[in-house]
């Protein structure tokens, strides 16, 4: 079975990303082509990147790095839920991508962004990072807007059409994740 991690990209106190990830998981868990699990970065307590040797070498020293490598390695694809902070993704999320290297490779990633502009700029930044790590970004994405999808901020109330947008992302993510499994084999 294809396994896809729904990564909660914010670790900030008071974050709304977990409620978005829970919504995504509620829809994704009903699908039969893949198994979805939430991976909350707040649960991993990664420090700022602290390995002496670059991740591309694959010689991880820190126990936190080894643990994170095991988590990333066990999935065939990723659905990243990200806010946008100052036109970029959260530092904790970029840091999580930087910690390991080969474990990301030849897998697929999709994005659900939220914020004033649906985290469009943060997602574009993360697509560049994913490309460098040999992670294929699917074209479809969900861009949740504060005025429309969080009308009583911080309460998350997605607009009705958002589920169809998410289904498009999940369809692409599942097919690309399956296809890339043959490359990894």
* Residue 67: CATH number of its domain: 3.40.50.360
- The share of the chain scoring above pLDDT 70, in percent, equals 100
In this predicted structure, what is the pLDDT of residue 155?
A: 96
| Spatial distance between the Cα atoms of 81 and 149, rounded to a whole number of angstroms | 14
Give the chain's domain count. 1
Reported as a single tens digit per residue, the pLDDT across 62-93 is: 999 999 999 999 999 999 999 999 999 999 99
Instruction: Identify the pLDDT of residue 82.
Output: 98
**Region 41-59: what's the mean pLDDT?**
97
Q: What is the pLDDT of residue 84?
A: 97
Question: How long a stretch of residues is the chain?
Answer: 185
pLDDT band at 110 (very low <50, low <70, confident <90, very high): very high
Name the band, by pLDDT with cuts 50, 70 and 90, for residue 25: very high
- Phi-psi group of 39: left, alpha or beta (phi > 0 → left; psi -120 to 50 → alpha; rest → beta): beta
Average confidence (pLDDT) over 4-33: 98
Give the pLDDT score at 47. 98
Q: Which two tokens stand for residue 140?
A: 């479809």
| CA–CA distance, 133 with 10 (Å, rounded to integer) | 20
CA distances to 60, 94, 174 from 168, in Å: 36, 25, 10
Question: In degrees rounded to 5, what are phi and psi of residue 134?
Answer: 60, 40
State the average pLDDT for the chain.
97
**Sign of the CA dihedral with 167 first, then 168, 173, and 175 last:** positive
Say what the pTM is.
0.98
Q: Tell me the mean pLDDT in the region 138-162.
A: 97
Full residue range of the structural domain in which residue 159 is found = 2-184
């Amino acid at each position: 079975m294809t396994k896809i991690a729904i990564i909660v990209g914010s670790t900030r106190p008071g974050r709304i990303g977990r409620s978005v990830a829970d919504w995504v998981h509620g829809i994704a868990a009903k699908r039969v082509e893949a198994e979805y699990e939430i991976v909350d970065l707040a649960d991993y307590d990664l420090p700022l990147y602290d390995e002496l040797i670059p991740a591309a070498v694959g010689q991880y020293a820190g126990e936190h790095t080894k643990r994170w490598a095991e988590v990333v390695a066990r999935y065939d694809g990723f659905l990243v839920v990200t806010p946008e902070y100052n036109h970029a993704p959260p530092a904790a999320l970029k840091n999580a991508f930087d910690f390991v290297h080969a474990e990301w490779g030849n897998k697929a990633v999709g994005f659900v962004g939220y914020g004033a502009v649906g985290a469009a700029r943060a997602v574009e930044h993360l697509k560049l990072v994913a490309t460098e790590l040999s992670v294929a970004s699917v074209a479809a994405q969900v861009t949740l807007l504060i005025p429309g999808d969080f009308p009583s901020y911080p309460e998350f109330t997605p607009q009705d059409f958002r589920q169809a947008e998410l289904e498009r992302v999940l369809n692409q993510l599942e097919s690309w994740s399956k296809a890339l499994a043959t490359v990894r084999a």
